[in-house]
Amino acid sequence: MLDQVKDFLYFIRVERGYSGNTASAYEHDLLQFFQYAKKKNETVDRQLVKNYLEHLYDHGFSVSSAERKLACLKSFFHYLIREGRINDDPTSDIKLPKKAKRLPKALSISETIKLISSPREKGFMAIRNIALMELLYASGMRASEVVSLNINDINFSVAFVKCVGKGSKERIVPLNQIALKAIKEYLEQGHHKFPQHDKEALFLDKNGQRLSRQGLWLVLKKYVKISGVKEKTSPHTLRHSFATHLLEKGADLRSVQEMLGHADIATTQIYTSVSRERLKRMYKKAHPRA
Digit-coded pLDDT (tens) for 199-208: 999 999 999 9
**Burial readout 99-130 (b: 16 or more C-beta within 10 A, e: otherwise):** eeeeeeebbeeebbebbbebbeeeebbebbbb
Tens of pLDDT along 9-50? Answer: 999 999 888 888 889 999 999 999 999 999 888 789 999 999
201 and 119, same domain (yes or no): yes
Q: Are 254 and 271 in contact (CB under 8 A)?
A: no
Percent of the chain with pLDDT over 70: 91
Which residues make Cβ contacts (< 8 Å) with residue 70, sequence separation at least 6? 49, 53, 91, 94, 96
Is the four-CA dihedral 54, 56, 59, 65 of positive or negative sign?
negative
129 and 217, same domain (yes or no): yes
Out of 69, 210, 239, 245, the active site residue is 239
User: Is residue 91 assigned to a domain?
Assistant: no
User: Torsion angle of alpha carbons 121, 127, 133, 139, nearest 10°?
Assistant: 160
pLDDT band at 283 (very low <50, low <70, confident <90, very high): low
User: Is residue 104 assigned to a domain?
Assistant: no
Out of 74, 105, 162, 236, the active site residue is 236
279 and 161, same domain (yes or no): yes
Q: Is the pLDDT of residue 132 over 70?
A: yes
156 and 242, same domain (yes or no): yes
Active site residue 239: yes
Q: Are 216 and 147 in contact (CB under 8 A)?
A: yes
Distances (CA, A) of 251 to 247, 255, 260, 282: 5, 7, 13, 20
pLDDT band at 62 (very low <50, low <70, confident <90, very high): confident
Q: Are 213 and 147 in contact (CB under 8 A)?
A: yes
Q: Is the pLDDT of residue 263 over 90?
A: no
Residue 155 bridge partners (DSSP): 160
Active site residue 262: yes
Active site residue 213: no
Out of 142, 191, 210, 240, the active site residue is 142
| Interatomic CA distance for residues 112 and 246, integer angstroms | 13
Out of 128, 191, 245, 262, the active site residue is 262
pLDDT band at 267 (very low <50, low <70, confident <90, very high): confident
Question: What is the chain's mean pLDDT, rounded?
Answer: 88
Gyration radius from the chain CA atoms:
22
Which residues make Cβ contacts (< 8 Å) with residue 180, sequence separation at least 6? 154, 156, 159
Q: Is the pLDDT of residue 101 over 60?
A: no
pLDDT band at 290 (very low <50, low <70, confident <90, very high): low
pLDDT, greater one: 159 or 95: 159
The reported pLDDT for the residue numbered 276 is 66
Q: Are 161 and 149 in contact (CB under 8 A)?
A: yes
156 and 245, same domain (yes or no): yes
Q: Outline where the chain has alpha helix (H).
A: 2-10, 20-40, 46-58, 63-82, 109-116, 124-139, 143-147, 177-189, 213-227, 235-248, 253-260, 265-286
The reported pLDDT for the residue numbered 97 is 60
User: Is residue 188 assigned to a domain?
Assistant: yes
- Taking each helix axis from N to C end, the angle separating 63-82 and 20-40, rounded to the nearest 10 degrees, works out to 90
User: Is residue 228 assigned to a domain?
Assistant: yes
Active site residue 221: no
Distances (CA, A) of 278 to 69, 75, 96, 193, 248: 33, 38, 30, 44, 9
Active site residue 28: no
Q: Is the pLDDT of residue 102 over 70?
A: no
The reported pLDDT for the residue numbered 136 is 96
pLDDT, greater one: 280 or 115: 115
Tens of pLDDT along 158-175? Answer: 999 999 988 788 999 999
Range of the domain at 143: 109-286
208 and 279, same domain (yes or no): yes
| Interatomic CA distance for residues 265 and 12, integer angstroms | 23
Residue 172 bridge partners (DSSP): 162
Out of 18, 26, 223, 271, the active site residue is 271
CATH code of the domain covering residue 211: 1.10.443.10
Q: Are 247 and 253 in contact (CB under 8 A)?
A: yes
Active site residue 271: yes
The reported pLDDT for the residue numbered 98 is 58
The reported pLDDT for the residue numbered 189 is 95
Q: Shortest CA distance to 53 belongs to which of 68, 39, 31, 75?
A: 68
Using DSSP, state whether 161 is helix, strand or coil: strand
Q: Are 141 and 135 in contact (CB under 8 A)?
A: yes
| Highest mean pLDDT pick, 28-42, 57-71, 270-284 | 28-42
122 and 247, same domain (yes or no): yes
The reported pLDDT for the residue numbered 135 is 97
CATH code of the domain covering residue 74: 1.10.150.130
User: Is residue 23 assigned to a domain?
Assistant: yes
Q: Average pLDDT of 243-261?
A: 90
The reported pLDDT for the residue numbered 67 is 86
User: Is residue 194 assigned to a domain?
Assistant: yes
62 and 189, same domain (yes or no): no
76 and 113, same domain (yes or no): no
pLDDT, greater one: 267 or 118: 118
Range of weakest confidence among 13-17, 71-75, 146-150, 276-280: 276-280
